[in-house]
Amino acid sequence: MTFVLIPGAGGQAWYFHRLVPELQARGHDAVAVDLPAEDNSAGLVEYADVVVDAIDDRTNITLVAQSLGGFTAPLVCERAHVTLLVMLNAMTPLPGEAPDTWWEATGHAEARAEHATREGRDPGFDPMADFFHDVPQDVINAAMARGEPDQSMTPMRNPWPLDHWPEVPTRFLQGRDDRFFPLEFQRRVVKERLALDVDEMPGGHLVALSRPAELAARLVAYRIAVAR
């Protein structure tokens, strides 16, 4: 089976560099996609084009979408032979909604701040505290050495072009330690928008960096369950 991995903001396939070998070690093909995040002419449809090109003639795809990748993955499902969609700590769009308007529509800022306050943390945004708090130090060092990825605002302003969720089996997997998209926030949003329950696993927002082996095991188990 093939896993195709869509990164979040910044569009770097590097985000999955610890997950890919874990999936391969379990006997599966794994393709992490670099998105044209620096290209001001590229929006959500162009991101989907890049993913479809990466899939090429592969079939029986498990598509995994991290964070902002949740806006791109359903577009790919309409164009490729996707057997299973796994939303991973992802943004769940509604028809006509742009990523820029998703934040206010879902009440994200309030939910994130309330979660931080309950944990005794400063509610202000801090990328180290919100994203990297459970990532191993050597991986943090490697990420910092790469520099902050650029992300064009073009896809943020594009309304999500579908008028329906694709007819593809969908699972939603959420890190229970995610400080950026807190678990209780995701449970509410996903139930309202997809009528799905959220599955949870240990790990924060960057779970592919912090717990790649556990994540690979969960993804393979999803795929096996769907195939039965």
User: pLDDT tens digits, residue range 37-74?
Assistant: 999 999 999 999 999 999 999 999 999 999 999 999 99
pLDDT at position 219 is 98
When pLDDT is cut at 50, 70 and 90, the band that residue 227 belongs to is confident
Sheet strand arrangement including 199-201: 29-32, 2-6, 61-66, 82-88, 170-175, 199-201
Burial class (CB in 10 A: 0-12, 13-18, 19+), 200: middle
Q: What are phi and psi of 199, to 5 degrees?
A: -85, 150
* pLDDT tens readout for residues 110-150: 999 999 999 999 999 999 999 999 999 999 999 999 999 99
**Displacement of CA 188 from its chain's centroid (Å):** 17
- Work out the average pLDDT over 184-209: 98
pLDDT at position 116 is 97
State whether residue 86 is helix, strand or coil. Answer: strand
d(CA 224, CA 195): 23
- Work out the average pLDDT over 10-26: 98
* pLDDT tens readout for residues 22-42: 999 999 999 999 999 999 999
pLDDT at 221 over 90: yes
pLDDT at position 142 is 98
Residue type, 96: G
d(CA 31, CA 24): 10
55-to-73, 97, 172, 188 alpha-carbon distances in Å: 12, 26, 22, 32
* pLDDT tens readout for residues 74-111: 999 999 999 999 999 999 999 999 999 999 999 999 99
pLDDT at position 228 is 78
- Work out the average pLDDT over 199-210: 98
pLDDT at position 159 is 96
pLDDT at position 172 is 98
- The mean pLDDT value of the chain amounts to 97
* pLDDT tens readout for residues 165-174: 999 999 999 9
d(CA 21, CA 54): 18
Q: Could you give the domains of the chain?
A: 2-227 (3.40.50.1820)
When pLDDT is cut at 50, 70 and 90, the band that residue 1 belongs to is confident
Q: What are phi and psi of 62, to 5 degrees?
A: -100, 115
Exposure letters 128-148 (e unless 16+ CB within 10 A, then b): ebbbbbbbeeebbeebeeeee
d(CA 189, CA 200): 15
Residue 87: both structure tokens together: 């939303």
Report the helix count and the strand count for the chain, using DSSP H and E: 11, 6
d(CA 154, CA 182): 26
DSSP one-letter string for 107-172: THHHHHHHHHHHTT--SS--HHHHTSTTS-HHHHHHHHHH-PPP--SHHHHSPP--SS--SS-EEE
